[in-house]
Amino acid sequence: MSEIEDNGDSNRLEELKKRLYSRDERLIRKRREAVLHRENLSAPGSWSENTRPVNMSPKLKTRSPIFKKFFILAAVFFLAAAGFTSLRFFTGGNTVSSENIEIAVLGNAFVAGGEELPLKVEITNKNNTGLEFSDLVVEYPKGTGGEKEIIRLPLGAIAASETVSSAVKLILFGPQGSIQDVKITLEYRLENSNAIFTKERSFGVNMSAAPLSLTIDAPTEINSNQEITLNIKTILNTQAPAKNIRLKIEYPTGFRLKETSPDPMVGDNFWNLGDLAPGMEKTISVKGVLMGQDGDERSFRIFSGSQDSHDTSAIGVLYNSVLHTVLIKKPFLESKLTVNDRDQEEYFVKSGSKINVGVSLVNNLPTRVDDVEIRARFFGNALDKSSLQPFSGFYDSLDNVIIWDKNSYPPLASLEPSASENLNFFMSSAPLFGSMSLIENPEIIIEISVKGKQPFDGNVVQEIENIERKTIKINSDFQIIPAVLFSSGPFVNSGPVPPRAEQETTYTVKWSMTNSSNNISDAEVKASLPAYVRWLGITSPTTENISYNESGREVVWKVGLVKKGTGLSEAPREAAFQVSLRPSLSQIGSAPIVLYDSYFRGRDQFTGALIEGKKGSITTNLKNEGGPTSDGRVVQ
């Protein structure tokens, strides 16, 4: 039977091979278009003798021991775990957990700053094992500066289920209403162990009153560019004295400080109040000018507390702080003051110059204002009263005030809503040096006050007023005087005088500097030498910084600080250097220039202005010498 089957299979393979490699399309198409037909197959109803039985016995033998071992091990583990759990349940064990330690704090949760706060701390050990070498650590803030105070109390051993207590006394500081956290920590060890374990608890204390009270006496509303004064009073509320108390003010934008009482310790906003006794008061007064737009709010922030342990110019522990807000409002009668057509807070002008002051007035009310009066009052030390020229006003020299009213200027009789008026006057500053005395830090302060009457129904009149203030600072008279010398001065000169063509003559060039009322810083003088003048490199005195730049032929004197009164109440500041001049035949009959224009500059330390000037060139004309002089004309 198998042979027949093999032949059949072989025939079918041959036929398939023949079709596969045949080029006859009919064979290929015939195969492609064949139709499937049902084929009846019969299977034997019993196993034939040639079929090999499957032996499963080896697999059953390999799996059975693994499953048995797994179930045995699982049963052993379950029994061991159940036994261990039962043992722990009935014996209780010897492990320690921080969860079984309770910390209770007994005491007042409210306290006034600086007052003593007694607290009682109870520690309960609910573990079945005792605690060794226990310490109670209490940590609390000194204030709001971040520094901490730490108290450590040894408790020793705490047995299982034992409660121990300890009393501590604290002094807390901080602003009223603030919460100060007291951190309580139990540090302990276990038997036969050097490791330190901890249990922590926090206790919040509300500061019911500040240790230092701060009160501010100042307006809450003000017109822009008006002067404002703040009186800040401090009172110590504690029963014990406080040392090294500091006070700091943060000024708002638009505030210009004018004066304080007493003077600050650092800068312009930090005071040392020193040591305060219980109930002791101290007052700081601050005066300045506040600028802003209508509706702006400007806030002053005041802080007070004890000195920082690392920085004497800082507050370490804050006791109290307050905020004072000022609303800026548009004035009912708005006045504006200009100096030489400029509108700014401070001005600086040259000494003796003519000053044009303008006063403008606007009615910002929805109703008219009657009987308007304007007064310009003068303060300071530099006004030349004889120079005042008021227009449409009266100058009262005794009271030093100019008055404009409806009698001198009729439009002020009634000012309608949004109406404006413009007035002006001229003045000059007084000489800064006279009668052998100096006017130090010269300034003119002008205060413009405007007032009027606002009529209401029923013939009721309300007076309204506004004040405008400006400061004019006078620059110091800072000058340089250049001179050419031959027979005088610090050097010995040689050569023909008057100068002779094509022959050398040496000269001394001297700069003398004067300054009147204000110190001048960073003073400097520059000048250039002509091509026919040679720098000899000799200067006097040697303490003065004089240099020469060959490429630019420029002589520079770096003067530095020039004190007020130099050349007036004190000797002038002088420097000299020697040069050699060899004139040409083309210069015969003329006095050659020895030094071109001298340019000087310096910063006025009072006004802050940069003062610059120029003095003309100097020639061989020896008009500044005291002895025989020469007009300096070159001869043959």
* pLDDT of 58: 47
Reported as a single tens digit per residue, the pLDDT across 491-522 is 999 999 999 999 999 999 999 999 999 999 99
Question: What SS3 state is found at 59?
Answer: helix
Residue 460 has pLDDT above 70, yes or no: no
On average, the pLDDT of the chain sits at: 85
Residue 151 has pLDDT above 50, yes or no: yes
* pLDDT of 79: 72
**Which one, of 472, 470, 516, 478, lies nearest residue 383 by Cα?**
472
Residue 462 has pLDDT above 70, yes or no: no
The residues facing 622 across adjacent strands are none
Which tokens go with 437?
A: 């005395």
* pLDDT of 32: 47
* pLDDT of 73: 72
* pLDDT of 364: 87
Reported as a single tens digit per residue, the pLDDT across 558-598 is 999 999 999 998 999 999 999 999 999 999 999 999 999 99
Query: Domain locations in the chain?
Result: 98-209, 212-329, 333-474, 478-619
Band of the pLDDT at 1, cuts 50, 70, 90?
very low
The span from the first CA to the last CA of the chain, in angstroms, equals: 158
* pLDDT of 91: 45
Residue 620 has pLDDT above 50, yes or no: yes
* pLDDT of 71: 66
CATH 2.60.40.1170 is right for the domain spanning 478-619 = yes
CATH class of 98-209: mainly beta
* pLDDT of 618: 96
Topology of domain 333-474 in CATH is: Immunoglobulin-like (2.60.40)
Band of the pLDDT at 621, cuts 50, 70, 90?
very high
* DSSP codes joined into one string, 154-199: EEEEE-TT-EEEEEEEEE----TT-EEEEEEEEEEE-TT----EEE
Question: What SS3 state is found at 311?
Answer: coil
* pLDDT of 62: 45
Residue 339 has pLDDT above 90, yes or no: yes
**Which CATH entry fits the domain spanning 212-329: 2.60.40.60, 2.60.40.10, 2.40.50.100, 3.30.460.80?**
2.60.40.10
Higher pLDDT: 134 or 60? It is: 134
Least confident of 15-19, 55-59, 229-233: 55-59
Q: Report the range out of 84-88, 312-316, 346-350, 553-557 with the highest average pLDDT.
A: 553-557
